[in-house]
Amino acid sequence: MAKKKGKQQRPDMTNEVLDVLKHNDTKLLNYRQISSMLEITEESDRLFVIEALENLLIKDLVAEKEPGKFQYKSSEAYVNGIIDFVSTGGAYVVTSPTEKDIFIPKGKTKDALHGDTVKVLLNPTFDKRQREGVVAQVIQRKRTDFVGIAQVTAKNCFVVPDSNKLHIDFFIPLSKTKGVKNGQKVLLKLVSWNPAETNPIGEITEILGYPGAHTTEMHAIMAEYGLPDHFPDEIEAAAKGIPTEITEEEISKRRDFRKVTTFTIDPHDAKDFDDALSFKKLENGNIEVGVHIADVTHYVKPHDIIDEEGLARATSVYLVDRVIPMLPEVLSNFVCSLRPNEEKLCFSAVFEMDEHANVVKEWFGKTIIFSDRRFAYEEVQEIIETGKGDYQEEILTLDRLAKKLRAERTKDGSIFFDKEEVKFNLDKDGTPTGVYFKVQKDSNKLIEDFMLLANRQVATVLSKALPKKNDKNPQKNAKGSAVVYRVHDAPASDKLTDLNNFVHKFGYALNIQSKKTTTQSINKLLVDVKGKPEAGTIEILAIRSMPKAIYTIENIGHYGLGFDFYTHFTSPIRRYPDMMVHRLLEAYLNHSTYSNAEELEAYSKHSSAREKVAAEAERASIKYKQVEFLKDKVGHIFEAMISGVTEWGLYAEIIENKCEGLIRARDMKDDFYTYDEDNYCYVGRKTKKVFALGDKVLIEIKNADMIKKQLDFVLVDTIEKNESQHNRIEKGETRNPNKREKKEHRGGKGKKGNSRRR
C-alpha cells in the first residue's frame, strides 16, 4: 500500500486502529471500514488510518489476509506465564527466562492471584524495553488456600491475607465463618471470584488462633505453604505394619560390613541418620572408605501409599522449632535411621583410595552395617583440632583425604561460599531466647566431601549405562533409559558481566572467558576480599549471580561443583529424588529397568518445586523468630550491614544476630536521596552521602511487626565506608552499560531486593 503525501502533521492512531481490529478480530476490515468505526469521514484524515495499519504490519500485530483487508493477529498477541504481584497492586508476568517480564497495571489483573498461571493479552508498545499487557484469563490457580486475619462485624466478614503479594481481601459469607472472632488468624479456601465483583469469595476452613502466639504463627506458616502437620492414619498404620526384621536370607544377599569400623557424624540434635562412613586399612596401604546410605527403598516400594505420600511431600522441611518429615517417624527415626549399636540395611558406595585421595576402585551395592559410634559435628571437630579422641586415627585420615578431595574440586572449578545458618535457642514455649550461627567447619566438610564423591560417582556410573544417542539398537542396553540428575546451570552471561564490572570498581577482575576460568576466578575473588570492607557486598552479589540447582533427567552438569555428572543419592530419608536414584541404581545393578523418562522428569519437576516451597517456609519461620526476638528491643541501636538496595529503601542485617529489616527511603530525611541501581546505593543530592551495599551502619529498631513478620529500621549513622567505591560513584566512573535501561519499579520483589532469578 503506497503512502499518500500530505503536509499536515500526522497524529499516531496506531492504538485506536488496533483497538478496532481487536474488537472485530473475526472480521477482515479495510481502511475505509476502520475509518467509519472511528467516525473519521474526511479522506485526508483517513491517511492517518493507513499510516497506523502500515505500522501494525511492520510490528506483526495485524495480518493483511486479502489485498487491502486486515485482521488482528489475536493468536499471537496472547502469551502465558506466571503472575507476580507487587505491593502496589500491579504485577509482572514471567513468560520465559529469555523474555522480558510483562508489566500488568493495577486494575488490569482481572481475577488473578499471586503465582497463578495466566493468559495475557499484550498491549502494542513501540518501546522494546518494556512489555505491557492485561490478564485475559486465569489458566491455573497456584493455590486455593490462604492465611489471613479475620475482620468480623455483625453484618459481614472479610479476611485480610498475611502475604503482601495478595492484593485483595476475601469476602466470607457469615454462614462460612466457623464462628471466627474478630482479629483471629484463619486458614480459608477460595470458593469463587467473579471478576465483576471487587472481592473473591472464600470460606474459613480452620481457625488458627490469635496473632503473635507461637503455635498460631507456626501453624500459619505451615498452612501458608501447604505443609501437613501430621500423617494420615492409614499412612501411619502402613508404616508400622512394614516387616522390620533383618533375616539371614536378606543378609546373605548383601555385603557384610558389620565388623568394619563404622560411625555417623551428624548435628547434635539429629534423629534421622541417613549416612554413615566405614574405614578400613588395606594390605596394599590404601584406605577403603564406605559411604553407607539408609536403604529406604528396601522398605518403601514404588507406588505404595507410603511412597505416594513421600512423593507428595518430596522433602522434609526444617522449621525453627520442628521437622516436618517426608516419611513417617517409625521409618525416618527408627527403622531406616542408622542409629548406633544397631544392625541396619544400607545401599553403599565403597571406594578404595590411595594416599592422594585418588579412587583406585569403586563398588556399589546393598550392604548391612553396624554403627559403632554416633558423633556430633562438634566432637569430630575437636578431634580434628586436638588430634585426640575416639577413633582419632580414622577421623584424622578421613579428614586428610577429604581435604585432598576438596583441593581437587577447587582445581576443577568448584565454587566455595561460606555457609552460615541462623539458629535460635528456644524456651519451652517456643520463644527465642538467643541466636547462634552454625558455621561450616572441617567436620562438616569431611562429611560433605564424601557425600559429594558418592553422589558424583553414582551419577557417572548411571550415565555411562544410558543408551547412546543414535544407537541403532538401544534395547541392547536394558540398564535404564534416564537418570535423575541434580543440575546447576551456569550464570547468565549478563549477570557475570555485571558482577565483573562491579568488582572492577574495587580493583578486582574476573576471567569469564570459560566455565573453568570463571569458577576459579570467583573462588580467588572470595578469598581475596576476606576481611576487606567490600567483602560483604561482593559475596552477596556473587551469590545472587548464581541460578538455583534443580532436579531433571536432562543433564547439563553442576556448574557450582564443577561436576559433569551429579545426582542426589545420600539422603533418601528426607529427599524423594534420592529414593528414585536408589531405585535406578538397583535396577542398573540387576540389569533391569525402573520407571520411565516421562515419569522421572515429572517427579523431578515436582521435587524441585517442593524444595523451593520448603526453603520459603524455612525462611518464613526464621523471619518470624527474628521479629519475635527483637520485638522488645524497639528503640535499641545496633551495628548492621546494608544487605540489599531497592527502589523503596535499604535492607540492613544486624551484625550480632543476622536479623534483617528495612530502612525505608521515606525515612531517610536528612537529605533527598537518589536510588542508583547500577551501583547498588543511595546518594544524597546535597550532601553527596552514599549508602551502598555492604556498608556498615548504625540502625535503630523502629518497629517489629509480628503479623507481617517485618522489621523496620531507621538510620542513625555510618560506621565505615567502602571509600574506593564511593569515590568512584562521586566521580561518575561506575555507570554500567550492560544494565537494563528500564528500572523495574517492583514494590515486593524480595526481601533483599535482588533481581529476578532466571
650 domain residue, yes or no:
yes
Of residues 587, 594, 516, 523, the one with CA closest to residue 557: 516
682 domain residue, yes or no:
yes
Average pLDDT of span 562-567: 95
For residue 146, give the H/E element and its range. strand 145-152
Of residues 165, 170, 131, the one with CA closest to residue 149: 170
Q: Mean pLDDT in the chain?
A: 87
Of residues 266, 94, 110, the one with CA closest to residue 196: 110
Q: Are residues 397 and 375 in the same domain?
A: yes
CA distances from 497 to 29, 511, 543 (A): 49, 10, 14
Q: Which pLDDT band, with edges at 50, 70 and 90, does 74 fall under?
A: low
Rounded Cα distance between 349 and 455, Å, is 9
Reported pTM: 0.81
Q: For the chain, how big is the Rg over CA atoms in Å?
A: 30
Q: Are residues 256 and 289 in the same domain?
A: yes
Read off the pLDDT of residues 451-471 as tens digits, 9 standing for 90 and up. Answer: 999 999 999 999 998 887 655
Q: Which pLDDT band, with edges at 50, 70 and 90, does 334 fall under?
A: very high
Q: Which pLDDT band, with edges at 50, 70 and 90, does 743 fall under?
A: very low
Rounded Cα distance between 121 and 125, Å, is 12
673 domain residue, yes or no:
yes
Q: How many CB atoms lie within 10 A of CB 58?
A: 10
Q: Are residues 267 and 398 in the same domain?
A: yes
- What separation, in Å, do the N-terminal and C-terminal C-alpha atoms of the chain show? 43
642 domain residue, yes or no:
yes
Q: Are residues 133 and 149 in the same domain?
A: no
Domain end: 448, 480, 504, which one? 448
- Output the nine-digit C-alpha cell for 125: 508498545
Average pLDDT of span 531-559: 85
Q: Are residues 241 and 384 in the same domain?
A: yes
Residue type, 184: Q
Rounded Cα distance between 40 and 37, Å, is 8
- Contact between 204 and 180 under an 8 Å Cβ cutoff? The reply is yes
Q: Are residues 101 and 37 in the same domain?
A: no
5 domain residue, yes or no:
no
Q: Are residues 474 and 561 in the same domain?
A: yes
Q: Are residues 523 and 593 in the same domain?
A: yes
Q: What is the pLDDT of residue 512?
A: 85
Rounded Cα distance between 544 and 531, Å, is 20
Query: Residue 180 pLDDT > 90, yes or no?
Result: yes
Q: Which pLDDT band, with edges at 50, 70 and 90, does 125 fall under?
A: low
Q: Are residues 363 and 269 in the same domain?
A: yes
Query: Residue 718 pLDDT > 80, yes or no?
Result: no
Phi-psi region of 229 (alpha: psi -120 to 50; beta: other; left: phi over 0): alpha
Of residues 152, 153, 149, 117, the one with CA closest to residue 135: 117
Read off the pLDDT of residues 677-695 as tens digits, 9 standing for 90 and up. Answer: 878 889 998 988 999 888 8
Query: Residue 757 pLDDT > 50, yes or no?
Result: no
Strands 287-294 and 343-353: antiparallel
Query: Residue 721 pLDDT > 80, yes or no?
Result: no
- Output the nine-digit C-alpha cell for 286: 590404601
- Contact between 159 and 132 under an 8 Å Cβ cutoff? The reply is no
Rounded Cα distance between 488 and 561, Å, is 8
Of residues 73, 68, 71, the one with CA closest to residue 1: 68
* Domain with 170 in it: 145-211
Residue 150 sits in a domain whose CATH number is 2.40.50.700
Residue 656 sits in a domain whose CATH number is 2.40.50.140
424 domain residue, yes or no:
no
Query: Residue 742 pLDDT > 80, yes or no?
Result: no
Q: Which pLDDT band, with edges at 50, 70 and 90, does 370 fall under?
A: very high
**Widest pairwise Cα distance in the chain:** 102
**Sequential DSSP letters for 385-437:** HHS-STTHHHHHHHHHHHHHHHHHHHHHT------EEEEEEE-TTS-EEEEEE
Rounded Cα distance between 678 and 737, Å, is 9
- Contact between 140 and 169 under an 8 Å Cβ cutoff? The reply is no
Pick the more confident residue, 456 or 504. Answer: 456
CA distances from 672 to 32, 244, 396, 684, 731 (A): 54, 70, 59, 6, 19
Of residues 461, 411, 504, 534, the one with CA closest to residue 737: 504
- Output the nine-digit C-alpha cell for 567: 545426582
419 domain residue, yes or no:
no
How many angstroms from the chain centroid is the CA of residue 219? 22
Of residues 230, 215, 226, 227, the one with CA closest to residue 185: 215
Q: What is the pLDDT of residue 287?
A: 98
686 domain residue, yes or no:
yes
Rounded Cα distance between 568 and 561, Å, is 13
**Number of alpha helices (DSSP H) and beta strands (DSSP E) in the chain:** 19, 33
| Residues pairing with 373 in the sheet | 263
- Contact between 576 and 328 under an 8 Å Cβ cutoff? The reply is no
Q: How many CB atoms lie within 10 A of CB 63?
A: 16
Q: Are residues 377 and 500 in the same domain?
A: no
- Contact between 49 and 35 under an 8 Å Cβ cutoff? The reply is yes
Query: Residue 399 pLDDT > 60, yes or no?
Result: yes
Domain end: 93, 117, 140, which one? 140
Read off the pLDDT of residues 282-302 as tens digits, 9 standing for 90 and up. Answer: 999 999 999 999 999 999 999
Q: Are residues 499 and 600 in the same domain?
A: yes
**Domain count for the chain:** 6
**DSSP annotation of 488:** B
Q: What is the pLDDT of residue 717?
A: 79
- Contact between 552 and 601 under an 8 Å Cβ cutoff? The reply is yes
Residue 48, judged by CB atoms within 10 A of its CB (0-12, 13-18, 19+), counts as: buried
- Contact between 686 and 671 under an 8 Å Cβ cutoff? The reply is yes
| Residues pairing with 145 in the sheet | 189
Q: What is the pLDDT of residue 540?
A: 77
Q: Are residues 273 and 388 in the same domain?
A: yes
Query: Residue 410 pLDDT > 70, yes or no?
Result: yes
Query: Residue 4 pLDDT > 60, yes or no?
Result: no
Domain end: 397, 427, 448, which one? 448
Phi, psi of 457, deg, nearest 5: -70, -35
Q: What is the pLDDT of residue 730?
A: 44
